Chains A and B, each alone.
Chain A
């Protein structure tokens, strides 16, 4: 893939993360402010509330989508940072494939968990 497309995807995933992670942060952390505005979430960080969410397919889908998007954005960003040291083409390939392998492993494990939790 040409580097331009990698960068374009970095921008697109950036916007997606700003929306999805913004929702995640507001729900998980701004509970008191949401209650003040009229939304009562009943302690979203507790085990019970977490389990209720993880039994729903839509939440598992959201988490896996968020995981994929965040991993791409984070690891592509890390690669951009490292490549600013202008390594040789050989080293660059090694860095790229290490990062790709790392990303695939993390994605496989971390997307297995919400799927396994669906039936608990």
Chain B
């Protein structure tokens, strides 16, 4: 006799990084989550620096800034900028699509399947393009501003 086995497709934490045969949007979602967590850690570090060091006056602040002014942290900051640009614009796409914009009308799932998101994939591609351009703008600033 067959038993009901609940949550057989339950991936647990593995589902946070592995999307299997799902399409582009699912991988964008995973990146959204990774960048979100990254920005959260940066936010906490940023708050520590801008409160504890700043309230102690100019000397402590400028000493902290000299320590932080090295290639490793600069690269990290660039990655945070990229993560922010990605998270913001992909989030904007998610909000618009949740409200029903930028996607086609839903139809019954008849083979060959074509979901409402994939029919307007061009919008998603356009947003990825804008993200890439902004990443290049920040890269220019990162190079000009010194490592």
By a beta-carbon cutoff of 8 Å, the part of chain A in contact with chain B is 11, 14-15, 17-18, 21-22, 25, 29-33, 47, 50, 67, 70, 74, 77-78, 81, 84-86, 106, 109-110, 113, 116-117
Contact = CB atoms under 8 A, between A and B. Distances in A.
Contacts of B115: none
Nearest to B44: A106
Contact of B62 (A15, A47, A77, A109): A47
Interface residues of B, number: 33
Nearest to B92: A18
Interface of B: 10, 12-13, 15-16, 33, 36-37, 39-40, 43-44, 47, 50-51, 54-55, 58, 61-62, 81, 84, 88, 91-92, 95, 98, 137-138, 140-141, 144-145
21 contacts: A11-B98, A14-B91, A18-B92, A29-B81, A29-B138, A29-B145, A30-B138, A31-B141, A32-B140, A32-B145, A33-B141, A47-B58, A47-B62, A70-B43, A74-B39, A74-B40, A78-B37, A86-B10, A109-B51, A110-B51, A113-B51
B128 to A, nearest CB: 17
Given A29-B138, A78-B37, A84-B15, A113 B54 contact: yes
A111 to B, nearest CB: 10
